[in-house]
Amino acid sequence: MTLRIGTRGSALALAQAQTVASKLGAELVVIQSEGDRSTASLTALGGAGVFAVALREALLAGEVDAVVHSFKDLPTAPTLGLSIAAVPKRGDARDALIARDGLTLAELPAGSVIGTGSPRRRAQLLSRRGDLDVVELRGNIDTRLGRVGSVGGAVDPSRRLDAVVLAAAGLDRISRLDAITEYFGIDGWPTAPAQGALAVETRTGDEKSVAKLDHKPSRLTAEAERAVLALLEAGCSAPIGAHAIYDDGLLFLDARVYREDGSEYLTSSHALYPEDVSNPIGVLAKRVTDELLASGAAELAPLSASRDTRQSGPSEPGGAE
């Protein structure tokens, strides 16, 4: 019986799901979500998790055998009856600028209008360039690129943007790396937890059907980043960046919390050898989040966690699914 892979219908979602389907000899089943139908902001819709709801409903109903998500779009809380069965090898985790006339961020004139739907990217842009006008932007990649003058061709002057910021991995997956005018280095521009990673989800008990796609280093780093988000109890409106690296047996985790206007941020970095503890993701994420909260992260960003409640928690919390 041919495996059925559920996916959203956008060009990016289809490209991502096709990479999974081709390795499994599976067929794609397109499922439309509320996030695809609405033009409201992600915050108004309830966060990036809105894109996962319809896919998960179809999976639980037995309409498909597995679904493919952008891992960064999944809520950190597990869903009863479902499991992340595989995290394929991760793509480029960086953000990228697509600007008119081939400009870099430093070269954009004061007052330039940049579009993004991400509170994190907004804070990072304003942190670097407080003289920019950062505006809310929704839509698929082609729609966003089409708003940039000299990139998308003829644009309604009232809707023209000087630049947008998008995930490099997404642009790569739809063969639009040519549009990038600048890559932002991870060290100074940490991205959304699990950015660049895919998550293949199945019903619990069916994990073996896609398990061969799992890439241990990619799963380890993506889950470590997502554990920071979970421990900070941060919603979609919290400007938080995180990045993990697994190199030569060492797991390194860095996270940064921004004030929403970009005027201030806090950073914490820790590392450990996973074999030294029973729950490396939980231990490492707790070290990072405890330090952030002790330094005042809850006063910078809309976090539900606080220093007092975090310190009363378990010493080795479970890693995020």
Q: Give the catalytic positions in this structure.
A: 73
Residue pair 174/223 in contact (Cβ under 8 Å)? The answer is no
* The one-letter amino acid at 131: D
Query: Which residues, other chains included, contact 67 with Cβ-Cβ below 8 Å and sequence gap of 6+?
Result: 5, 6, 7, 31, 55, 56, 58, 59, 200, 201
Specify whether the CB–CB gap between 225 and 317 falls below 8 A.
Answer: no
Q: Which two tokens stand for residue 215?
A: 């890439």
**Angle value at C-alpha 11, between 64 and 235, nearest 5 degrees:** 75
| Cα–Cα dist 293/288, whole Å | 9
* Element (DSSP H or E) covering residue 30: strand 27-30
Write the CA distances from 97 to 125, 159, 183, 202, 238, integer angstroms: 10, 18, 6, 34, 21
